[in-house]
A and B are shown apart, each in its own frame.
Chain A
Amino acid sequence: MLELKGVTKIFNAGTVNENVVLRDINLKVDEGDFISIIGSNGAGKSTLLNVIAGVYPVDRGTILLDGRDITRVPEHERARFIGRVFQDPMKGTAPSMTIEENLAIAYCRNARRTLKWGLNNKLREEFRQKLAETGLGLENRLNYKVKLLSGGQRQALTLIIATMVKPKLLLLDEHTAALDPSTARLINNLTEKVVLQKGITTLMITHNMEHAIKMGNRLIMMDKGQIILDIKGSDKTSLTVNELVGMFEQAAQRKFDEDRIMLGARS
């Protein structure tokens, strides 16, 4: 479905600050995969998603989506079939526009925008239903400006925006990292619900090992710009945090850096 072949990304190439962020990445994602991605700081997780989304061009390699080479397709065109939720709740919504206007923008993601009204009552009703499903009480606040919402509400809204038109691929970049634990749980539940219900192929970066193990059907660990672990199926279901740390230390040939990654319950 999504295939990366020999993808390499170098920042500041040819200078003293040269930094190889992605090193010859090969990855094949199957239709319906829900992959969680973990790794320490600077492992290249975010860059991987940004390269897939078209935020940065790659230095080498190709990216194929449904067999089509999208390596040179600009970001806004890829957005037609790639949904994204960012770590920063401010990034995914237009703050001085209303909830319904934000949703209306997402509604046109895959269509040609015209001089037709951006909103009508039929759309409002559809949005109201979609919001009601989240259980956040946003369905009665369609004409509230988004800047009035809390971080959690904005992330929930961003998730709805990203999946309004079913994307071929959903990219979640630590989308619960900036939230308090209970809100994060709520957004995680919503994420699982939306992703599984619609069967959306998803790549999710998380800094929480427990989430990474619990959510999704496949787990990828990155280190220094490379994929060092790729665990699927029953291997993943039976995985524990301790095992994962052990596997990391074996694969990366160094001690596990616990500063940023939350291990969760270590039983």
Chain B
Amino acid sequence: MFGLMVTSLEQGLVFGIMALGVYITFKVLDFPDLTVDGSFPLGAAVASIMIFNGGNPFLALCLATAAGIAAGCITGFLNTRGKITGLLSGILTMTALYSINLRIMGRANVTLLNSRTIFTYIEEWGVPHRWVFLALFIITAFLIKVLLDCFLKTQIGFALRATGDNPEMARANGINTDTMKILGLSLSNGLVALSGALVAQYQGFADIGMGIGTIVAGLASVIIGEMMLGERTICMATFATLMGSFIYRLSIGIALRLGFAATDLKLLTTVLVIIALSTPKIRNLLRSTSSTVSN
């Protein structure tokens, strides 16, 4: 049980960075961005091929993030300049990224088992092997959470939030909503790619199919967190997202122990998200029908 908790915490935090990215587009910007299914493996591909060839893993993380930012920019340009709907823009970038990721890796998967990853370095600094993942993920995830909280309280952060909340009001107050969308999408996909780069080193390989369902997992985390802790303040909402990511990984861990095959997980996740998204509506529906009956 303890092992399950630690693993879920590790996974919850490292995938939580991705979920924070999804929070930016889905909640702050109100933009359903499917780019993440491509930018997550993009980060993994960039980082793993660098590390596999003996590159510095810290530099690899930076480049992976930069690649994610570029991917988000492209989706943003397709949507704002190309006037393609948000959903389709993301799908187009995601699909293109599949080929790009294969080009970057040169094959369908890259193993890092014999390479010097970021964890090799941290272990050499004296962190015991058992805690190395947890230590790095706690620091990174919470550092990013705090930085994101701060950013959303700056003048530009306000502009970004207004763009998602009421674009008409934003434009009427001199905010260039197109620029803000591009900014939000780049930030989001930068985080998603960073998460992908860390996950690849955590699990010891990068795989071309590892991005499938990223958006659903991210949404699950955001929604579970919101249901549990609410979203009264930004600080709370980002914490809830990390928390939701942990709960999500924990429930998956439990499902595996209950005997579900790993290949069933995408179906389980989807069902989970459907329930989470429709529960409030079903509850409202039940309430309104019961009140009609009593009248």
On A, residues with C-beta under 8 Å from B are: 53, 74-77, 79-80, 83-84, 86, 90-97, 101, 104-106, 108-110, 113-119, 161-162
B258 at interface by CB-CB < 8 Å: no
- B174 near A119 with CB under 8 A, answer no
- A95 near B171 with CB under 8 A, answer no
Task: Name the segment of B71-79, B136-144, B162-170, B204-212 touching the other chain.
Answer: B162-170
**Cα-based distance from A116 to B156 in the complex (angstroms):** 8
Q: Can you spell out 7 A-B residue pairs with CB atoms less than 8 angstroms apart?
A: A79-B173, A86-B168, A94-B161, A95-B166, A105-B170, A108-B155, A115-B155
Identify which of B169, B175, B177 contacts A93 (C-beta below 8 A): B169
- B168 near A76 with CB under 8 A, answer no
On B, residues with C-beta under 8 Å from A are: 151, 153-159, 161-162, 165-166, 168-177
**Cα-based distance from A218 to B66 in the complex (angstroms):** 57
* Given A117-B154, A118-B154, A118-B155, A92-B174 contact (CB < 8 Å): no
- B170 near A119 with CB under 8 A, answer no
Q: Within 8 Å CB of A161, what residues of B?
A: 173
Q: Distance (Å) between the CB of A190 and the closest chain B CB?
A: 18
- B156 near A105 with CB under 8 A, answer no
Identify which of B156, B166, B171 contacts A113 (C-beta below 8 A): B156
- A76 near B176 with CB under 8 A, answer yes
* Given A104-B158, A105-B159, A113-B159, A118-B153 contact (CB < 8 Å): yes
- B154 near A75 with CB under 8 A, answer no
- B157 near A75 with CB under 8 A, answer no
Query: 8 more A-B contacts (CB under 8 A) besides A75-B172, A91-B166?
Result: A79-B173, A79-B175, A84-B172, A97-B161, A105-B162, A108-B159, A113-B159, A118-B157
Q: Within 8 Å CB of A110, what residues of B?
A: 174
- B174 near A77 with CB under 8 A, answer yes
**Cα-based distance from A54 to B171 in the complex (angstroms):** 10
**Cα-based distance from A235 to B119 in the complex (angstroms):** 83
Q: Within 8 Å CB of B153, what residues of A?
A: 117-119
- B154 near A97 with CB under 8 A, answer no
